[in-house]
Amino acid sequence: MYLIFDIATTQEKQILEAKEVYDREWPRLIQIAWTVFDQNYKHIDFQAYYIKPEQFTIANGSILSPRISQATLEQRGLPINIILNKIFDAFEQNEYWIAHDIDYNLDVIEYELLQEDFLMAEWVELAESKNILCTQNDDRVVKYFNKKLDPGSGRLPKLDELYYELFNEKLKVSFNAEIDVLSIAKCFWELVNRNCYNETENISSRNNFPIPDGLPELIPYRNGKKWGFCNSNKEILIKEIYDSVSEFKNNYALVLEGNGKRVLLDKNGKSTDLPGLDAHQILNKNHFIVKNADNIGVYNYKGEEIIKPVFQNIKLFFDGVIFAQHEKNKKYIVFDNYGNFLRDTNYHAIEFPSEGISQVSSVDKNLVGYLNLYGDEIISCKYNYGCDFKNGLAKVRNFNSGWGLINEFGKEIAPLIYESISDINNGLVIVKKDGKYGILSSTGKLITNCTYQIIEDFQDGLAKGINFYEYSYINSAGNIVIHLKGIQEADSFSDGMCRVKDRGKYGYMNKAGQIIINCKYDDGQKFSNGLACVRMHNKWGFVDKLGKEVAPNKYDKIYSFKDGLASVCIRAKWGIIDLNGNELIKCIYDSHFTFNLNKGPKYKLAIVQLNGKKGIIDYSGNAIVPCQYWGLSDGNWSTNTNNCLFMVIGKNSNFVGYIDKSGEEYFE
């Protein structure tokens, strides 16, 4: 099956409450959305989530994805560990992963896994077993995109550019994952129709540290305490007169002048200075947000006012409808994309669209209803609580009854009688009634009665039900295919195998209910791509599905093999081994690292840490950039630009400047 996904992240440099210096300054995941198609190309699932910023703080003045407010994350976000579970489960079930700029998207997910110490080995193995396709950085897409515009140029298409080339329609990229993912899906299937992909091939490979070929046209350059911009030859193109600068986005950068005023700068060095206003946020190719002492508004790049800066909050919908919220009465006003007043509303909260439908809350009784993308109310505000639409259905709740499901016309598909109801997974939901759990279809029919103490969501085609330490595995038809009792613990299935625990030890069972690997390990993780990571006597190794030892249990920590290499740790020091167990890089480094093998020999580079300092080594272990910096991160992780700059972080987590992959410093 095909999983097409998109993410939204923090955009500017963040000061994060992270454990290690190298973890700071990276973007954090704030939203993810995916849509799934089966082998017959039929749409079968859609999910979208916000992430609550619990493990890090948003620094004052930092920029989030333009469509997602801090309030949305706080109010609607789920804890990152819950999101990672959902990501792992969904991605595990699908053979093809597709995204626009997929390397960046997967890198951000991997970083969150590292932060949470969550199934990292399993994730890397999982990624290796999948077909990974990109609608941007793929030779066939690039060739097709440039054949009319600039044959042989190799320029990577932006999403709106690709969309226009394929459909001859202008696309307003929303920077909201649950909206943009639908456009990515449309582009992908059109590319398939035009024979740009061979679906039997792994078109694009996973890169842990993507290092694109070219440097940006304008590179932020620091001279002492002042910033400007230079080219790749370090020739100054915009003088170093600013206290801070951002990288260019949509041909503009935000710069901080010496007087404390933030202005917009174009590539010619011309600034857009608006009296009494700061340039606050770059939205898209046409608009940016301005801010005065108390409020915000919208201007275009000509410096013309679109919406007066008298509002507390501004939300832009996919089709150009703009909602602006007054601070006094908290009600939203609707404008068009040109700032023309359309109407007043009685809403104090409006969320971003999910499947073209937005959830709203009324000011008077704080009841929930739903709007379409034009701001028209399609379901009146009558519920105490509501969730986003997914697969044409939304979960709603009334305090005097319970949870149920409605469709986009407001019809109750499942009555509001349940104590809880899960998200829809392949057309099925887990419901709770009278303290017991059952399984409900998306048509509202119970396929499994509410008789279980616990039912976990479907994984690998089966849902796990628990009753008094007896485990039942239920298929999508509601039939029990495996029933276990007299065992201490059993997990959900993954890659056709299930981890079980008996008498304090772990082993593995297949889908026939047979214990294939005896319960003898102190710990173990899920199978992925035919291998599982197991621990014995406090040491880790790998076994296959027959229990045969693939890597001996001698490591303190270990990550899955990728491109024939695996990171291993002995006595808190990390190195690299190959498939034969040969030590290619000695275990001398402070933290886990990987190489970028599938871009060819010159890209066999890795960021490493030695004695608390960061540097870059090649595939042979030679130092390309000595370990002399307190922090290094790939520039492609800090922004959405495709360049090969690395950000240098100082001892106190301050941003020092940029270096390229040869170690050339763009600061003095």
Q: What is the pLDDT of residue 308?
A: 93
CA 494 to chain centre: 22
Taking a C-beta distance cutoff of 8 angstroms, is the pair 20, 614 a contact? no
Rounded CA Rg of the chain: 26
Q: What is the pLDDT of residue 416?
A: 95
Domain boundary among 375, 406, 437: 406
Count helices and strands in the chain by DSSP H and E runs: 8, 54
Give the domain CATH number at 296: 2.40.128
Domain boundary among 406, 424, 454: 406
Place of tokens 């789920």: 78
Residue 491 domain-assigned (yes or no): no
Task: Show the CA angle centred on residue 280, arms to residues 279 and 286, nearest 5°.
Answer: 70
Q: Going by C-beta distance under 8 Å and a sequence separation of 6 or more, which residues neighbour residue 370?
A: 357, 358, 359, 360, 377, 378, 379, 386, 389, 394, 408, 410
- Of 575 and 61, more confident: 575
Place of tokens 């520039």: 635
Q: How far apart are CA 4 and CA 95, in angstroms?
A: 11
Reading across the β-sheet that carries 631-634, which strands appear in turn? 631-634, 645-649, 655-660
User: Is residue 112 domain-shared with residue 9, that is, in the same domain?
Assistant: yes
Is the pLDDT at 68 greater than 80, yes or no?
no
Residue 519 domain-assigned (yes or no): no
Average pLDDT in the chain? 82
Residue 510 domain-assigned (yes or no): no
Domain boundary among 360, 385, 406: 406
Q: How far apart are CA 341 and CA 363, in angstroms?
A: 20
Residue 210 domain-assigned (yes or no): no
Task: Show the CA angle centred on residue 253, arms to residues 251 and 257, nearest 5°.
Answer: 145
Give the domain CATH number at 188: 3.30.420.10
Residue 294 domain-assigned (yes or no): yes
249 secondary structure, DSSP code:
B
Q: Which of 188-202, 228-242, 378-392, 548-562 has the lowest mean pLDDT?
A: 188-202
Q: Which of 141-155, 179-193, 196-210, 482-496 has the lowest mean pLDDT?
A: 196-210
User: Is residue 21 domain-shared with residue 158, that is, in the same domain?
Assistant: yes
pLDDT in tens, 52-66: 887 665 544 444 443
Q: How far apart are CA 223 and CA 346, in angstroms?
A: 52
Residue 536 domain-assigned (yes or no): no
Average pLDDT over residues 267-275: 90
From 91, 33, 83, select the one nearest 55 (Cα to Cα).
Answer: 83
- CB environment 507-545: b (16+ within 10 A), e (fewer): bbbbeeeeeebebebeebbbbbbebbbbbbeebbbbbeb
Q: What is the pLDDT of residue 71?
A: 61
Is the pLDDT at 529 greater than 50, yes or no?
yes
Q: What is the pLDDT of residue 599?
A: 43
Alpha carbon distances (Å) from 203 to 383, 479, 594: 46, 38, 21
User: Is residue 281 domain-shared with residue 175, that is, in the same domain?
Assistant: no
Is the pLDDT at 127 greater than 80, yes or no?
yes
pLDDT in tens, 356-365: 788 999 998 8
Residue 443 domain-assigned (yes or no): no
Two tokens, residue 518: 């005896």
User: Is residue 267 domain-shared with residue 392, that is, in the same domain?
Assistant: yes
User: Is residue 14 domain-shared with residue 122, that is, in the same domain?
Assistant: yes
Q: How far apart are CA 644 and CA 616, in angstroms?
A: 13
User: Is residue 18 domain-shared with residue 145, that is, in the same domain?
Assistant: yes
User: Is residue 173 domain-shared with residue 296, that is, in the same domain?
Assistant: no
User: Is residue 53 domain-shared with residue 155, that is, in the same domain?
Assistant: yes
SS3 content of the chain, % helix, strand, coil (to 5): 15, 45, 40
User: Is residue 166 domain-shared with residue 18, that is, in the same domain?
Assistant: yes
504 secondary structure, DSSP code:
T
Structural domain containing residue 323: 258-406
Total of domains in the chain:
3
User: Is residue 287 domain-shared with residue 371, that is, in the same domain?
Assistant: yes
DSSP 363-385: TTT--EEEEETTS-EEEEEEESE
User: Is residue 152 domain-shared with residue 270, that is, in the same domain?
Assistant: no
Is the pLDDT at 137 greater than 50, yes or no?
yes
Percent over 90 (pLDDT), the chain: 37
Two tokens, residue 606: 């890795």
Residue 551 domain-assigned (yes or no): no
pLDDT in tens, 454-466: 999 998 889 999 9
597 secondary structure, DSSP code:
G
User: Is residue 270 domain-shared with residue 377, that is, in the same domain?
Assistant: yes
Model pTM score: 0.53
Is the pLDDT at 376 greater than 80, yes or no?
no
Q: What is the pLDDT of residue 34?
A: 93
